[in-house]
Amino acid sequence: MKNIVEVFDFGQISFRRAWEIQKYAQNLLIGQKKQYRDGKISEKKRNDLLFFVEHPHVYTLGKSGDAAHLLKTSAELAKIEAEFIEIDRGGDITYHGPGQIVGYPILDLDRYFTDIHKYLRFLEEVMIKTCKDYGMQAERIEGLTGVWVDGKKICALGIRCSRWVTMHGFAFNVNTDLSYFDHIVPCGIKNKSVTSLSSLLNTEMDINEVKKKILKNFSEVFDVEVIDENAFSEISEIENEIEHIFK
């Protein structure tokens, strides 16, 4: 029987709010694992999750990152309506903003494989397949994490894993304003630039269509059944449904 991954699309939501939701969901799955281990429950009824979000302009710095890779002061960030947040994932600095599809899988890797490097390669494969759906030949670059087209990064990855339950995930540039990457050293990698689906194809992309292709490829690569539970257009709707999602 295939694992089930429930998908929730939160639309545009602040990074900090999405971070809190992820931590809450991760802790629920960790708690379930402990209960199962201690014999308090006979089966793991909570499914894995995948959150789609879009963030307002924000730069996030991972635990192993270098703050010097942010090339703007706080005052300069305010002028471009962006914020800077130091967070708990791996990796260096990256940008999130409108037109970018951010995916946060909350997976219990005990259900799949307990191998972080393999997990990252699986996420890369999902995005490589998605690029192929649009006629793009995407690839990995040895020694670097992420997905690249013609030597330019189109998808960044950064995760956190606790007791083999994941959080954070991927950021796929679709209709992204790439000029925002000029204010950082993306992922701390010098002499490498970024790209997006829209810039490669010279057209505005249908974000929802791209998400459907990502889900198709995610289900194939991870060999799971994907259930698209709901879509939320307002933060107030998210607040009202949090208890339902995690009941």
The three-state secondary structure class of 6 is strand
b/e burial code for range 7-23 (CB count within 10 A of at least 16 → b): bbbbeebebeebbebbe
Q: In this structure, what token pair is assigned to residue 61?
A: 């710095």
What letter does residue 70 receive in the DSSP assignment? B
The three-state secondary structure class of 209 is helix
The angle subtended at Cα 48 by Cα 137 and Cα 226, nearest 5°, is 55
Q: How do strand 93-96 and strand 58-61 relate by DSSP bridges?
A: antiparallel
187 flagged as catalytic: yes
Give the active site residues.
187
